[in-house]
Amino acid sequence: MYSYIIEKGKEGDFARARVEGVDASVKDLVEVCGNIRYKPVDKAIKLLEAVADGSMPILYRSNNKRLGHRRELGGKKGRYPKKSAKIVLGALKSAIANAQQKGLSEELIVTHACANKLATYMRYASKGRRNISAMETARIEIVLKEKEGAKRPAKKHAHKEEAQKAPSKGEKKEAAKEAVKKETAADNAGAVKAETRAGDAQLEEKKEDKINAHVRDDKNLPGRKPSQKVK
């Protein structure tokens, strides 16, 4: 377990990742993890990618009986565990993503990498028969730490400020209610103005009708001019 690697009170300086129930050879996973331990992250990624492509073997320090000697390893025993290399590479990338999420520096070192054996399941053959071989599952653990003297990137507070400025649900509801009230008030004011305008227009029409009626009466009176006023 990686708990003994991380010091108490310094959990923020580490980034970790774990993969459970891996369907791969435990021996291969152990050797792959041993080859990337205490290495910088960039070198570990290059090694795992080369092993996954089959262009670079992995040095087997144990479980190496009857293994061939590899020229790339200086005549030492090794193998090409492509499947295990791909799985460990995925776990390493997950740990790097966790480090970026924590705001750690890009200069990271693999301080802990191991593989442990988990449950074993019996393999079944056709017609319900049990096969002699068993399927082994494993667990992978990777812990990363910043290199000494590495500078962390500047923190971005824009997201926090936006989160602080963002209104809550209650504030949004109140703002919506106020907007509706303003709209209704504006509509009512417009309706009142329209009614007053219509009333003014009717009054003006009535005044004009009265004036026209007086003018007609003046014209109909005998011996008087339209301009003369009736006392």
Q: Pick the most confident of 10-19, 56-65, 207-216.
A: 56-65
Please, is 94 exposed, middle or buried when counting C-beta atoms within 10 Å of its C-beta (0-12, 13-18, 19+)?
Answer: middle
| Entry pTM | 0.63
pLDDT value at residue 100: 92
Indicate the fold that domain 12-148 takes in CATH.
Answer: Ribosomal Protein L22; Chain A (3.90.470)
b/e for 140-149, b at 16 or more Cβ within 10 A?
Answer: bbbbbbbeee
Length of the chain: 231
The tens digit of pLDDT for each residue in 169-203 reads 677 777 777 877 777 777 666 666 666 666 666 76
Measured CA to CA, the distance from residue 82 to residue 48 in angstroms comes to 9
Q: What confidence score (pLDDT) does residue 231 get?
A: 43
Question: Where are the domains positioned within the chain?
Answer: 12-148, 166-220
